[in-house]
Structure 1
Amino acid sequence: MSTKSKTVHFLADPGNGTQVSRALAKVFGVSTDAPVLLAEMEVSSSGFDLDIPETDSGYYYMVLRIDSYSLNGGSADTGNRNVTLLAVFDASAGTVSVGAQSTIACAYAFARFLRVGDDGYPAIQGETRRIGIAFAMKNNFTGTDGTISKVISSSPNGLETNSFPLFNFLSNLLYYSLTEASVYQQFVSLASPDSPARSFLGALMHLVYNPFTNVQQIYALISGQTQVFEPSLPTLDLPPHKTPVPDQWTLTIKRNDSGSRNFLISGTAFVVFDKEDKAWITNNFRAGTAFSGTHAMILNPDGSPNELSPLFGGGILGSGFGAAIDPKRETIAIGNYGWGPVDFNPETGSISVFSYDGKVQCPPNGHTNGLCRVQGMTYDKDGNLWMASIGSQKPMAPAPDPVYTFPNQNSALVVYLGGDPNRMISFDNFLDQPSPYHATFDVVIDSEGNGIVSNIGNADYGLQSSVYKFRIENDQLVYVAHWVSDYVNPRNPASVGYEQFRQVTVNAQNEIFVGGVTSSRVVKLDSSLQNVLKVFTKNVNAAWGVRMDKAGVLYVANFAQEKGRNSAIDSFDMHGPFGVTVIYNEDESTSHLMTVPTGGSGVTLANGQPLYGSQEGPLGRTFKPCYEPIMRLTSTNVDAAGNVWAMNNWKPSVYVDIKDNPGGDGVVIFVGVAEPAV
């Protein structure tokens, strides 16, 4: 640790003009080892200075345990209430606000690196790289000086989602836990019912880790109180059919800025993270049209557009589910499917390859050897690039059938050995019947180096959905095993085995999970592909993406909304909720739908226009505002700080999907909900 130090001014702000009368302040340095106490002082006012020694990581956190305070001319002790405020700051800070809002922001952003002891003091510990990502995400809510970020307080957040009012509601909950003993006691009991926490911060972290806990009851604790921090949930002006009570206690950041208003985010599909933790995101459409997009996005770890974004070149055309990162996280491959009307129908499709600093590493039209409409793809540990080639020239909905009669190719698993398109190997003999209509969609690598492949299937041609396993041996693909769907569609009992498989994933035991769109289920198979171990259907609605974090929590990206809901009269918005299904310990009884409700304002694009613009529906009716900030999802991925990035792919209006503008409008990041996987 350096002998240099810096004087930092601290301001305590519990809210509503509350002044600190007596408190214990501690500053720690963040490191990969146990946190290091750098400064400690008993304070008797809300403003104080501390000399802080420099640390190698450059990150610090302040903990302020409040013992007594004054409010409205009166003073009070906290008694047996253990209320601590928390703020994380970096070496550039001169003034640090430690208050209710900084505490909430830090608890969520640093959730995967923060543990609270029985004494109520938090310990934050982690690699500098990961802590930097969490710090950047924290700054999306509050600055070090206590100012509220424009990111959370304005579009596409603001009141377009409920995250800002939920953030303020939790800040109000901290304030009332400090000033009212009954609120503190009830909150601690409700937030941590199995093992009551010994502090507000301990109870809050229980809520962060278990966001579906006692939502209605906790909301009711202070919903009738004056909301000190606003806008807050109880004061929202919501449209009909909406409620201020959240579905769960998650905070989100929505991003819709590609870096250029000429090339908006439109139909995000898949995301991977490079060695600098930048997010590389595929983009289906040119916004406002049904045409294939010719760009991808590169976002910084906090979700802001990187200077390289939007990314062009390398033959990008309607990139979909295909994005892969090599083992060194230095090379990114993007699969081009090609969407839209007949004049945007590519004959083969391709892949585009880039270095992590944005340099094109392929011909101008991409690599096409062996490929016909690429979707899922991945690199294995040896740098082999595995790709799912759909084969059929029939575009996926909502595009019409093509006029150009390009010949189909057989659906296939294609591998570029060492990532070299001149060393291509493939397999197309699915179900002993090579066909374009198997529709090979995704591939993942298990811990033994096997490739696990999903096929959508095609009911019209009697081709069932299936999962295959392969290995590479002597530079050839060797078939290992397969499983054919046994699903019977209750709406069409004659259709057996067709459920439109999409993403496939594996757990630590190499057991296999695959999501079905038609069946709205996730099937778990043993590693031999001989037995169905479990089927998950609770809160699963057109399963497209299936992802697992390091702790084994399953995240299902649903392409459809909650079952059984109908559209409101005179509106083209489906009333959801749309969301990500979360399943703990592979136990369906724990299944919940993680949603992003509205805060009362209509969804707008990065250019400020309403999501549906000035389009008119049938009978000349103008579209009403859209109140669905998260919609049809295709995939999720977990970054190095435990944030879940959800790809908001299509809008909910069928009319708009088919006729005018099928692209979704952004990326939604659930802050701190998962165990980091990279």
Structure 2
Amino acid sequence: MDISCRRGSIVCFYAILIGLLLTFSSTGSYAARDWQSFHTGWLPVSPAADTIKGTVKSHQFPLVGYRISLYANFTIAGGFQRKLATAVSEEDGSFSLHFRLPPGLLETMPPVLLVVAEKGEVTLATVVAGNDVPSKLVVNERTTVAMATAFAQFIHGKKLRGNHVGMQNAVKMAANMAVPSTGLVSPVLLQKPNGNETSTLPTFNALSNVVAACVATQQHCEQLFAATTQVGEAPVDNVLQAIANAARYPSYPYYPQDSADPLFLLSLAAPVYQPALPQRPTNWLLFIKFTGGNYSAQDQFNLINGPGNIAFDAEGSAWILNNYVPKATNENACASQRLLRFQPWGETYPGSPYYGGGLSGAGFGITLDPRGRIWVGNFGFESPACADGTVPPDPDNKIPATHNSVSLFHKSGRPISREQGFTRGNIWWPQGTVSDRRGNIWVANCGNDTVTMIPGGNPLLAKNFPLPGSNPDLQPTESPSLKPFAIAIDRRGRAWITGNKSERLYRIDRRGRVEEVDIAGVELSWPMGISSDSKGNMWVSNSDAVNVPCVDPLDTQGGGNPSMVFIPADGSAPVQVFGQGGLSIPWGNAVDGSDTIWVFNFGHTPFEDAQEDTVWPDTGVSRFCGSGECPQGMSVGDAISPDTGYTSDALERITGGGIDPSGNLWLLNNWKKIGPFVYDTNPGSNSFVIVPGAATPVKTPLIGVPRHFR
């Protein structure tokens, strides 16, 4: 049965439900009344019986007398949870669970199966997919941290509730951290580019030790619950909610004083999992790094070099554009001609990377249209030696960068545009590339101070709109005056464009009426990214540092006073926030399903003090209270992240990022953080980072304003 319409109308939903009922009836095992009975708690006899055997442990020690419960968490009919089986762990910690599931559901919308082990105030857990149940499980502190972190946005007390896409993908994300069948750390965390190369594994083990402390004594459980209870929210009374809250509210004040961080102190009480953090972190988020393989070093065999921006499809797959051909650090990197796609849990998607369609050094522009097609702006990133022909061509760089097109790909990865891409509409050094809800594609032409609109995605109808202050006589080799960079769409379908060099903000409606936006009372300073929230309010990243390389070379500025600007949709006074929350060359930004703003920082200043071997401090992500749900006592523009930002040694210079249906935060390590801005050879980094459970889920693809994916 085709269920592709399930994220559309209510009609589609009922069509699916009716189809499920017919499926149950056709098997002879379930009639419609049986499904109704299952929904209300009665489990009829079914041939889809199964058994899970497992063990409850604390590190290597079996836990006896724990009550084991198996829950099926369904995401249809508004979402509900049903207990399928119970058991009690034996002297050796073993248990056996016998259960049945409706076979029709396993073929269409399989439930998420949650195994919970409880005794007193201790709650341990693991999670698996209903259509991929291992015959043996281990439930311990590591599986508990993995499950509670991956499902941080879906845990409500001891129940799971959330959208089908995000819940299913979160099962795989949990397996990135701990293996359900063994309870051991996943190879993803153990091996490069994670392992001993970042602090992510020690942070994961430290959180596991926090849970181990609770297993050891009741007093530690009470301390954990108190430390993770948020002001204005119900008191935490179980370990799952506590660890989920550690991902949702990951920082404590007065860094770096260890005594001010209750989770760090708890991690020292029973340090059975090693290696663990020797000192407190700026935050308790888990930054899982991906390069496309088990490697960190850069060379011509890498998958990624200079990931610039990201877009998610309806299933949560991540489409990432790539600036440069993979090369070693000291080699010239030419314009990339590949488009990358990854599974929602970070694994390279089968068939990726994709080639063709005119791809040429894509920069910051990538979007999905309402038909699920992928549009990419071909900015033409390349080192100067590639542009002048000094570097010979290679298999992934057959032609010089073109700077004058957008590419279009089918959702399968097949190119739709031809080898030269779509060039109509006076496209020149395109950056931001965004679709609106009607399928119009908007392109910010950084190289000639204009915006191209492709009505309904038809390249033959492309129109070009000069921005106020542009030079109609500007030559292709001349430096532009405005440098339009990023685009966001408001609730009325209007495109908002940042002028990086002009330090202005522009707006164009669907009829082509262009205006400069009056934002009296605030000052833009080399602005970069822009995002809309669900109400149509706008957020602008002020880098105060980057005059983007666009026709002319990179020209760095001061960078000492970065800020974020909030522009209300109702026309009231804008709000400007300077230097808080860890802002450090803010580049891109994204709004989550609760209208909280996340800012992606490119790095540190001053540039002039950097040498080739200078290692900058760890890069951070900034988080600000938006127009929606805020922590108690905060209002729009208040920094939620600490003065350091949420830092990690897994991060380098970040340009783009986004939030997926699971609430995972994706961050793109675009440039290296070692040394100054090196633009002449290969500045690109070769990785991206996923932070599980950090943000409120967003319904994808993101077209227009963001929507909470419940």
Question: Is structure 2 residue 455 aligned with structure 1 residue 417?
Answer: yes
What is aligned with 1:19? 62
Q: Unpaired runs of 5+ in structure 1?
A: 68-77, 117-121, 235-243, 392-409, 458-463, 488-496, 599-628
Alignment match, 2:98: 51
For residue 406 of structure 2, the aligned residue among 351, 355, 369 is: 351
| Greater mean alpha carbon deviation, residues 639-648 or residues 283-292 | 283-292
CA contact (8 A) 1:112 1:642 kept: yes
Give 2:345's aligned residue.
302
Aligned to 1:550: 593
- Of 379, 388, 400, the residue aligned with 1:337 is 379
How far residue 252 of structure 1 moved from its aligned partner, in angstroms, is 2.2
Matches within 5 A, 1:597-616: 597-598=648-649
Give the structure 2 partner of residue 38 of structure 1.
84
1:398-417 matches, within 5 Å, as 410-417=448-455
Answer yes or no: is the 8 Å Cα contact 1:545–1:558 preserved in 2: yes
1:558 Cα offset (Å): 0.8
> For residues 34-56 of structure 1, what are the alpha-carbon distances to aligned partners after superposition, in whole Å with 9 as ceiling and x for unaligned?
20111123444411111111242
Distance 1:111 1:264, change over 3 A: same
Residue 311 (structure 2) pairs with residue 272 (structure 1): yes
Query: 1:450 corresponds to which letter in structure 2?
Result: R
2:84 and 2:336 map into 1 onto residues whose CA distance is 52
Secondary structure of residue in 1 paired with 2:334: coil
In structure 2, C-alpha distance between the alignment counterparts of 1:183 and 1:485, rounded to whole Å = 52
Q: Which position in structure 2 is the counterpart of 1:403?
A: none
Give unpaired runs (5+ residues) of structure 2.
1-34, 36-43, 388-399, 475-479, 545-560, 627-635, 700-710
Asked if 1:160 corresponds to 2:216, the answer is: no
Give RMSD over aligned pairs. Answer: 2.6
Amino acid in structure 1 at the alignment position of 2:311: V
Query: Structure 1 residues 185, 142: closer, same or farther in 2, change over 3 A?
Result: same
Name the aligned partner's letter for residue 541 of structure 2: G
CA offsets, 1:620-645, max 9 Å, x none? xxxxxxxxx31111111111111111
Range with greater deviation from structure 2 (258-267 or 31-40): 258-267
Map 1:602-641 to 2 at 5 A: 629-641=650-662
User: Over residues 641-662 of structure 1, what are the superposed CA-to-partner deviations in whole Å (9 max), with x where a residue is unaligned?
Assistant: 1111111110123457234320
Match status 1:454 vs 2:504:
no
Q: How do 1:502-517 and structure 2 match up within 5 A?
A: 502-517=528-543
Q: Which residue matches 1:604?
A: none
Distance 1:181 1:112 in 2: 26
1:134 alignment partner, SS class: helix
Identity %: 24
Contact (CA 8 Å) 1:526, 1:532: kept in 2 or not? yes
Distance 1:155 1:21, change over 3 A: same
How far does the alpha carbon of each residue in 1:368-409 deviate from its partner, in whole angstroms, 9 at most, with x for none? 112001100111111111110112xxxxxxxxxxxxxxxxxx
1:437 aligns with 2:481: yes
CA offsets per residue over residues 513-564 of structure 1, 9 Å max, x none? 1111115111122337784233343121111112111101111111123889
Q: Which of the residues 113, 133, 140 maps onto 2:154?
A: 113
Distance in 1 separating the partners of 2:423 and 2:411: 21
User: Which SS does the other structure have where 1:207 is aligned?
Assistant: helix
Distance in structure 1 (CA, Å) of the matches to 2:520 and 2:324: 32
Q: Write the letter of the residue equivalent to 1:163.
A: T
Q: Tell me how far apart the structure 2 counterparts of residues 431 and 531 of structure 1 sit (CA, whole Å).
A: 25
**d(CA) in 2 for partners of 1:315, 1:144:** 43
The answer to whether the Cα contact below 8 Å between 2:73 and 2:160 also exists between their aligned partners in 1 is yes
Look up the SS of the partner of 1:183 in the other structure: helix
Contact 1:272 1:280 in 2 (8 A): yes
Match of 1:534 in 2: 576
Per-residue deviation, 1:5: 4.0
Secondary structure in 1 aligned to 2:456? Answer: helix
Aligned positions of 1:198-213 closer than 5 A: 198-213=237-252
What code does the residue aligned with 2:510 have?
I
Which of 348, 353, 378 pairs up with 2:434? 378
* Distance across 2 between alignment mates of 1:651 and 1:485: 36
1:171-210, aligned counterparts within 5 Å? 171-192=208-229, 194=231, 196-210=235-249
1:246-279 alpha-carbon deviations (Å, 9 max, x no partner): 1101112111117996353111110111233221
Equivalent residue number for residue 523 of structure 1: 565
Q: Distance in 1 between matches of 2:466 and 2:577?
A: 28
Q: Distance in 2 between the 1:468 and 1:341 partners? A: 31
Are 2:268 and 1:231 aligned? no
Residue 133 (structure 1) aligned to one of 154, 158, 169: 169
Q: TM-score, normalised by structure 2?
A: 0.77
Equivalent runs, 1:93-104 vs 2, <5 Å: 93-104=134-145
Aligned partner of 2:625 in structure 1 is 584
Moved more, 576-585 or 51-60: 51-60
CA distance in 2 between partners of 1:664 and 1:554 (Å): 25
Distance 1:130 1:578, change over 3 A: same
Aligned to 2:283: 248
CA–CA separation in structure 1 for the residues paired with 2:309 and 2:264: 38
CA displacement, residues 67-115 of structure 1 (integer Å, 9 cap, x when unaligned): 3xxxxxxxxxx5xxx1111111123321122211111000011112211
Distance change >3 Å, CA 587–CA 439, structure 1 → 2: closer
Aligned to 1:238: none
Query: CA 1:484–1:20 in 2, change beyond 3 Å: closer, same or farther?
Result: closer
- Sort the Cα spacing of 1:264 and 1:529 in 2 relative to 1 into closer, same or farther, 3 A: farther
Paired amino acid for 2:221: Y
Amino acid at match of 2:567: L
Matched, 1:281 2:320: yes
Q: CA deviation at 1:127?
A: 3.6
- Of residues 334-343 and 188-197 in structure 1, the stretch that sits farther from structure 2 once superposed is 188-197
Tell me the equivalent position of 2:333: 290
What is aligned with 1:218?
A: 262
Amino acid paired to 1:351: V
Q: What is the alpha-carbon distance in structure 1 between the residues aligned to residue 385 and residue 455 of structure 2?
A: 33
Equivalent residues of 1:469, 1:481 under 8 A apart:
yes
1:653 paired residue number: 674
Alpha carbons of 1:258 and 1:20: their partners in 2 closer, same or farther (altered >3 Å)?
closer
SS at match of 1:505: strand
Partners of 1:572 and 1:247 lie apart in 2 by 25
Letter of the 2:528 partner, please give it.
Answer: R
Q: 1:337 Cα deviation (Å)? A: 0.7
**Cα distance in structure 2, aligned partners of 1:63 and 1:594:** 35
Which amino acid in the other structure matches residue 494 of structure 2? N
- Contact 2:166–2:663 under 8 Å retained in 1: no
Is the counterpart of residue 368 in structure 1 residue 410 in structure 2? no
Give me the whole-angstrom Cα distance separating, in 1, the residues matched to 2:693 and 2:270: 29
Relative to structure 1, the CA distance from residue 360 to residue 437 in structure 2 (aligned partners, 3 Å threshold; closer, same or farther) is same
Measured in 2, the distance between the counterparts of 1:36 and 1:12 equals 22
From 154, 164, 170, the equivalent of 2:207 is 170
- Cα distance, 1:201 vs structure 2: 2.7
Change (3 A) 1:565 1:189: farther
**Alignment coverage as a number of residue pairs:** 582
Work out the CA distance in 2 between the residues paired with 1:507 and 1:249.
26
TM-score, reference length from structure 1: 0.80
